[in-house]
């Protein structure tokens, strides 16, 4: 199994900044694409950003130019730097990771979620 632990988030004023991090640990053979999602209340999760193994990043239009996703391969960690925050960025943010997870007999593809961290932006 692989565990994801998120940190960061909290409360910021509109126009301010917050950073999120998410570290994977456990029976990791390799980590592929890493993602950040947001949970809009009473709806499904929505992709915010992703970063591939070669560092190619993608963003939803609403955060382009404001959010930056990055990763530290050696630390199995993905980050989300959120600048120029808006009230509508308020949400619970989840990291998500595509891995190959080790077993006694080899490894298999598996996807894992972090526990979620609250981001609240006020006027």
Averaged pLDDT of the chain: 95
pLDDT given for residue 41 in this prediction: 72
Question: pLDDT tens across 48-89, in order?
Answer: 999 999 999 999 999 999 999 999 999 999 999 999 999 999
3-state secondary structure 38-104: EECCCCCEEEEEEECCCCCEEECHHHCCCEEEEEECCCCEEEEEECCCCHHHCEEEEEEEEEEEEEC
Nearest Cα to Cα of residue 79 among 17, 25, 20:
20
pLDDT given for residue 44 in this prediction: 83
């Amino acid at each position: 199994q692989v565990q994801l632990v998120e940190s960061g988030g909290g409360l910021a004023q509109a126009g301010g900044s917050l950073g999120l991090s998410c570290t994977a640990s456990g029976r990791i053979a390799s980590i592929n694409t890493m993602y950040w999602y947001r949970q809009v209340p009473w709806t499904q999760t929505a992709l915010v950003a992703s970063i591939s193994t070669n560092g190619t990043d993608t963003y939803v239009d609403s955060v382009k130019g404001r959010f930056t996703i990055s990763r530290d391969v050696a630390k199995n960690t993905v980050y989300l730097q959120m600048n120029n925050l808006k009230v509508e960025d308020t949400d619970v943010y989840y990291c998500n990771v595509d891995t190959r997870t080790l077993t006694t007999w080899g490894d298999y593809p598996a996807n894992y979620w972090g526990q979620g961290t609250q981001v609240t932006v006020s006027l």
